[in-house]
Structure 1
Amino acid sequence: MPHPLIPELETLAGRACADLGFELRQVNLLTHRIPMTLQVLVQRGDGQDISLDECAALSAPLGEAFDAAGVLDQETYILEVSSPGVGDELREDRDFRSFRGFPVAVRFTDRNGAEARCEGLLLERTASELQINMRGRTKRIPRASVLQVLLVAPSTGT
């Protein structure tokens, strides 16, 4: 269950990112860390990953927006600004285009209504299905059945 502050943090981060030409991808609040960590994942408006310098430039406006809103009630926190990477969920069409050929884990509902999982290389996502390569065979999963698609680290075929 996501932290109840996430929607408000996403709104604040989204505005700050848009003002500087960036696009917010995700906000995570890691309350189990001491001090807690606020992760903000962003990309450039053209869909490309941001540079380290761009992350640094975005850090101050994001921190100021969060502090001015008082959302974290003077809690001590670490702000991490970065681009999405391995382990991130693919959501938008451009994500599926950008990561063609990459290893993914797919959670989906099978024909019996049970949740299933498979891994393979991402081929494509069309209007009707998700296609992944599983050891040389194309697995076609109806798009409506797909629950989640995550990038995963490549396995070493030993």
Structure 2
Amino acid sequence: MASKIVQQTEELVQPILDELSLELVDIVYEKEGPNWFLRVYIDKDDGVDIEECGQVSERLSTKLDEADPITEAYFLEVSSPGVERPLKKETDFEKHIGKHVYVKLYEPISGEKEFTGDLVDFKDGNATIRYKEKTKQKEVEIPFAKIAKARLAVTFD
């Protein structure tokens, strides 16, 4: 059910985002305690502001009311993905080469299932991450299909 709601929401919100030159980062439909939340994360190169989030929220709310894909009561939230933005699509990786990332895998590579380091390349469906192990710099090439979760990672230098 949740995946169908996410898909329908994406179909409703994408034309709004295209018109406003905004990017859809993620849609999550989840229950927290007794309440359901439909969260839509949007972005653009120089970040989104509260006004843009409000605009998308108002327009999407109207479209959701018309289409009525959700039977239970829920809260709609439209926001920026924040500094630890998820990387969901191959194009997300391509756009964030040079950034610090956290990647969790479905299955281990070189005995590890999690890597935090710099995304140095993404080509032919593979992410190359440079990370530090003790005092050595290492690189790992990770096939996109093996990535369970990925996001930008904040560093404190």
- When normalised by structure 1's length, the TM-score is 0.75
Shift in alpha-carbon separation, 1:128–1:16, aligned structure 2, 3 A: closer
> Structure 1 residues 71 and 128, CA, compared in 2 at 3 Å: closer, same or farther?
closer
**Mapped contact 1:90–1:96 kept (Cα < 8 A):** no
Superposition deviation, residue 153 in structure 1: 4.3
Q: Which residue of 1 aligns with 2:29?
A: 29
- Listed as ranges, the gaps of 5+ residues in structure 2 are none
Higher normalized strand content (fraction of residues): 2
Query: Partners in 2 of 1:72 and 1:39 — Cα distance?
Result: 13
Aligned to 2:59: 61
Unpaired stretches in structure 1, ≥5 consecutive residues: none
Which residue of the other structure, out of 84, 87, 95, is the alignment partner of 1:89?
87
Return 63-72 or 148-157, whichever deviates more.
148-157
Aligned with residue 96 of structure 2, among 81, 98, 118: 98
**8 A contact 1:110–1:145 mirrored in 2:** no
Name the CA distance, whole Å, in 1 between partners of 2:86 and 2:144.
Answer: 20
In the aligned structure 2, how far is the partner of 1:105 from the partner of 1:92? 13
Matched, 1:122 2:119: yes
1:43 lines up with 2:35 in the alignment: no
Contact 1:41 1:84 in 2 (8 A): yes
8 A Cα contact 1:89 1:148, kept in partner:
no
Distance 1:154 1:22, change over 3 A: closer
Q: Deviations over 1:74-96 (max 9, x none)?
A: x3221111122315134233544
Quote the offset at 1:149 in angstroms.
4.9
Map of 1:10 onto structure 2 = 10
Percent same amino acid at aligned positions? Answer: 19
Aligned to 2:131: 134
Q: Is the 8 A contact 1:88 1:151 kept in 2?
A: yes
Contact 2:106 2:147 in 1 (8 A): yes
Aligned length: 153
Contact 1:109 1:145 (8 Å CA) reproduced: no
Q: SS of 2:4's equivalent?
A: coil
Equivalent pair of 1:58/1:81 in contact (CA under 8 Å): yes
Q: Which amino acid aligns with 1:23?
A: E
Moved more, 63-72 or 93-102: 93-102
